[in-house]
Amino acid sequence: MAWDPPQQAWLPGGRLHLHQGPIDLVIGAEGLARGAAFAAAAAGFDGVLVGLAAELPLLRANIATAPDIQDPIGRAMAAAVRPFQPQFITPMAAVAGAVADAVLAAMTTAGDLDRAYVNNGGDIALHLAPGHAFSAAIAAEAAGRLRLSAEDGVGGVATSGWRGRSHSLGIADAVTVLAATAATADVAATMIANAVDLPDHPAVRRAPAHTLYPESDLGATPVTVAVAPLGSSDRTTALDAGAEYATALHARGLILAACLQLGGDLRFVGAPVFANRLQVTAVGKAETE
């Protein structure tokens, strides 16, 4: 498929916007190497989509088949999803986070930065030098702002849920994950959101993924398309299932923390960064500042 050339623009606050096809990045940087970092981001972004598109059939295949992926970002996607086996998962579960990680890596190699981030549709790769902090808006019904410091060790923030831009097997309104990389956070958010579920519940309507998007890597797998209001006990059951899975991921060191949201109910797993610092305000979309 032919793509238009990468597009570049400057946004308010001195942020850089890079766009090509389905990839849409908002990038921020502070520090002595700020200019060099932005130049490196633009250079690093060139060719990303073409490289991934060339191996799209492999990236949409179950990772259990161990496809021989050559593209460096594609290999990072595959590496990010492998620890989540034996559940069915494809490298595409990590695509947004892996692209953000790759562009951020190009920026940080350009020179010293106090703070930098690459926001790929709400999945964020993050760099913080000691003494610096970052504030992100957390999406869903109980939205709020979360402040992260360099000492937290967070390199990636990602959110998934049935209301999001990607299909979900579960019913979470949103699951936000903090991890060492954006690729890992991306996969974990997807898998935890899948686990927040009420199988065969009459309030949940599903449809085969390929009927909604013919090229979906999920094929005929039923994905959530609607969730009627749920009672308190049903919300608790679904959140318990997701929290159990998230706790297992935390115990294995795959995630640092997770915030699970369903029908206005919140559940925190892992490091207390969410519970201690999330200031709940109003409905909002993930963004950065």
Render pLDDT for 111-122 as a digit per residue (tens, 0 to 9): 999 999 999 999
Catalogue all structural domains in the chain, each as residue range(s) with its CATH number: 7-288 (3.10.520)
Q: Please tell me the predicted confidence (pLDDT) of residue 161.
A: 93
Q: Please tell me the predicted confidence (pLDDT) of residue 198.
A: 97
Q: Rounded mean pLDDT of 40-52?
A: 96
pLDDT at 7 over 90: yes
Q: Please tell me the predicted confidence (pLDDT) of residue 250.
A: 96
pLDDT at 156 over 90: yes
pLDDT exceeding 90 applies to what percent of the chain? 72
pLDDT at 264 over 90: no
Q: Rounded mean pLDDT of 267-271?
A: 87
60 vs 214 pLDDT, higher one:
60
Q: Please tell me the predicted confidence (pLDDT) of residue 285.
A: 34
pLDDT at 277 over 90: no
Q: Please tell me the predicted confidence (pLDDT) of residue 139.
A: 66
pLDDT at 73 over 90: yes
161-188: per-residue pLDDT in tens?
998 777 898 999 999 999 999 999 999 9
Least confident of 20-24, 57-61, 87-91, 208-212: 208-212
CA–CA distance, 92 with 89 (Å, rounded to integer)? 8
195: left (phi over 0), alpha (psi -120 to 50) or beta: alpha
pLDDT band at 283 (very low <50, low <70, confident <90, very high): very low
pLDDT at 58 over 60: yes
CA–CA distance, 160 with 139 (Å, rounded to integer)? 10
pLDDT at 279 over 80: no
Reference 154, options 131, 134, 174; nearest CA is 134
80 vs 139 pLDDT, higher one:
80
205-262: per-residue pLDDT in tens?
989 888 888 878 777 888 899 999 999 999 999 999 999 999 999 999 999 999 999 9
Reference 187, options 198, 175, 171, 204; nearest CA is 175
Q: Please tell me the predicted confidence (pLDDT) of residue 47.
A: 95
Q: Please tell me the predicted confidence (pLDDT) of residue 288.
A: 36
Annotate 83-121 with three-state secondary structure: HHCCCCCCHHHHHHHHHHHHHHHHHHCCCCCCEEEEEEC
